[in-house]
Chain A
Amino acid sequence: MEEALVRAVLFGTPILLAALGALLAERSGVVNLGVEGIMALSALAAFAAALGAGPFLGVVAGVGAGVALALFLGLFAITLRANPFVAGLAVAALGLGASGMLGKRYEGVPLETALPEAPLALSALFLALLLHLLLYRSRFGLYLRSVGENPKAADLFGVSVEGVRYLALGLGGGLIGLGGAYLSLAYRPSWTDGMTAGLGWVAIALVILAAWEPLRAVFGAYLFGLLFFLQFRLQGSVPIPSEAFAAMPYLLVILVLALSGRSRAPKALGQPFERGR
């Protein structure tokens, strides 16, 4: 029982970090469908940097790669006002592809000093709390939420809609990158192509499940973590094929999507901002 809870938290942590990153962007009105690719590229950047310069710089590199790729998405989704969904999918493909290509030489290379999981899991929890405070107890949070709900009004009050959105998307990319770094430096201290295994997409669905609230995302992430743990633990001990367990999280995401809908989404979500329209 205790082990199950611990593993649930440890496995839920990358999902939580990625979901917090996606949530932050969505609260400002930007949909980030690139999460899976950002996570994959950050995991690689973190691993490569940790091999050369130690785990601390690995984390920095992972976060940095996340910020950079998210801002790259912003160029298309915010400045150019391209279709944000398609731009996000393209960034997902780009991140996955680039990490698979460049990561080939790290496949099977062991990491000498892995990071301990527990402190990172704790800091993820702390970051969720921090994000909650940022959104609801700070002036920046107020700006951010109003940009996500009513960009026109925010613009009239002199808030830079694009600036806030870039900041939210970039900071969110950093959180997603931290999730990727956790995967390759702590949870499974190694690099394999496809190691994100759809966690990024699960995280995007989790944002909807959590109704765009950071604290609710914590519970959702640990629930998914528990599910992944059960999949691992129950394999072979019950007469159910292991593939059914492997498919379970994705099935759960579909159920969650069907049950929660999109009613509480920020009102300007996915809509590019055009001044004077």
Chain B
Amino acid sequence: MRLELDPAPSPKKVALSYGAFLLLALLLLGLLFLAYGVSPLRAYEILLTPLLDPLGLAEVARRAIPLLLIGAGLSLAFRVGFFNIGAEGQLLLGAVGAAYVALFLPPGPYTLPLMFLLGGALGALWAGLAAWLRVRFGASEILTTLMQNYLAYYLVVYLVAGPWKGQFVFGFLYTDRFPEAARLPRLGDSLVHWPTLLLGVGAALLLHLLLFRTSLGFSLRVLGENPQAARYLGLKEGRLMLLVALASGLLAGFAGVGEVAGIHGRLLEPAQISLGYGFTAILVAWLARGRPGLTLLTAPLLGLILAGGDALKLAFSMPFRVVDVVAGLLLLALIGAEAASRHRLIWRR
């Protein structure tokens, strides 16, 4: 018995393997819910409750904003072979840049654009550093971007506990509130900061066009699919890699700006700024199959999982880690199904 490559899997087989693996993931998740002491069916039900009312849907949209921004950038980066695992840190640096503008520059109509500019630039710089280390020294960006997440985490902790600690916050670890000019408008009384949402939609569409309608996009796709051919064509691998890293870091930085300017109105502890958006966005990008436009569908889907995780947390006082479990299992189911549909089982040796 062995596996062999299947060059042209039938649609039926593809559907079947995706179905089987998703079922397996649901089963394993159910077992974990059982081990935690809740009924799996009830847990699944609660996971989907945000779909039932406008308030729940607004929660999904709120989560989808950073996921869309980061996911669109990551889908480009993954496609080109830059495994940016550091969106979490890039998001935090974006929040730091935004907070600097909001807290230390005189407020005015230029405040919000400047926040996005500085926040995005810091996010891009943070990702660009990892790309430079890979291009120049061959350091695996999976590990460097991951380590940078920890560095960004401690930077934010240092800022909110030290030099940037608010004057009027007493024992709490956050800065003073941002002035009104540094706050993003929201939809009604929800937490949906719509300018950032528009930015995300625009970014996803723009990157999609860039990738599939321009010659630069063609170069990027060649580099991702066949680095050897790219070298043959004389493409500047390092420069393209850096470009992609900067773009994905920029968008993650924007996501950080959106979180502090649209939701919290201050810089606070890193774990409260990002609820694991950087990691969940990996799934958004992976689901979108390297097509930035598809993140318009996958980001809300993962937004639902995050909002549902929140509901689970409230209903069963479950730790938020449940989202990691769902994300991990979903990712495994997807890559497993993809791999299984690409192979066929041969029963004789």
Residues of A in contact with B (beta carbons under 8 Å apart): 33, 37, 75-76, 79-83, 85-87, 89-102, 104, 193, 198, 201, 204-205, 208, 241, 243-244, 246-247, 250-251, 253-254, 257-259, 261-263, 274-275, 277
- How near does chain B come to A274, taking the closest CB pair, in angstroms? 6
Report if A257-B162 is in contact (Cβ < 8 Å); known contacts: A97-B323, A102-B32. Answer: no
Known: A257-B133, A258-B133. A198 touches B150 (CB 8 A): yes
Q: Which of chain A's residues have a CB closer than 8 A to the CB of B331?
A: 86, 89-90, 93
30 CB-based A-B contacts, threshold 8 Å: A33-B142, A80-B3, A80-B336, A81-B343, A89-B142, A90-B328, A97-B323, A97-B324, A97-B326, A97-B327, A97-B328, A100-B319, A100-B321, A101-B32, A102-B32, A104-B318, A193-B321, A241-B158, A243-B161, A246-B154, A247-B154, A250-B150, A250-B151, A254-B133, A257-B133, A257-B139, A257-B140, A258-B137, A262-B140, A275-B2
A93-B331, A100-B324 known; A241 and B336 CB under 8 Å? no
- Residues of B within 8 A of A (CB-CB), count: 50
Secondary structure class of chain A's binding surface, majority of residues: helix
From residue B142, how far is it (CB to closest CB) to chain A in Å? 6
Query: Would A76 and B32 count as touching, CB distance under 8 A?
Result: no
Chain B window 135-148, contacts with chain A (Cβ cutoff 8 Å), 1 for yes, 0 for no: 01111101110111
Q: A96-B324, A257-B139 are in contact. Are A83 and B335 (CB under 8 A)?
A: yes
The answer to the question of B83 belonging to the interface, with a C-beta cut-off of 8 Å to chain A, is yes
Distance between Cα atoms of A145 and B62 in the complex (Å): 50
Number of cross-chain contacts by CB at 8 Å? 144
- How long is the Cα–Cα vector from A96 to B326 in the complex, in angstroms? 11
The reply to whether A90 and B332 contact each other, CB–CB distance below 8 Å, is yes
Q: Kindly state whether residue B325 has any CB partner on chain A within 8 Å.
A: yes
Across-interface contacts of B139 in A (CB, < 8 A): 254, 257-258, 261
Extra inter-chain contacts (5) besides given A98-B325, A262-B138, CB under 8 Å: A80-B335, A85-B83, A92-B328, A254-B147, A261-B138
> Shortest distance in angstroms between B44's beta carbon and chain A's nearest beta carbon?
15
Q: Closest A residue to B159 by CB, please name it.
A: A243
Do A104 and B319 touch (CB < 8 A)? yes
Q: In the complex the two chains form, is B332's CB within 8 Å of A76's CB?
A: yes
Q: How far is the CA of A94 from the CA of B157 in the complex (A)?
A: 26
Report yes or no: A101 in contact with B154, Cβ–Cβ below 8 A.
no
**Interface status of B277 (Cβ within 8 A of chain A):** no
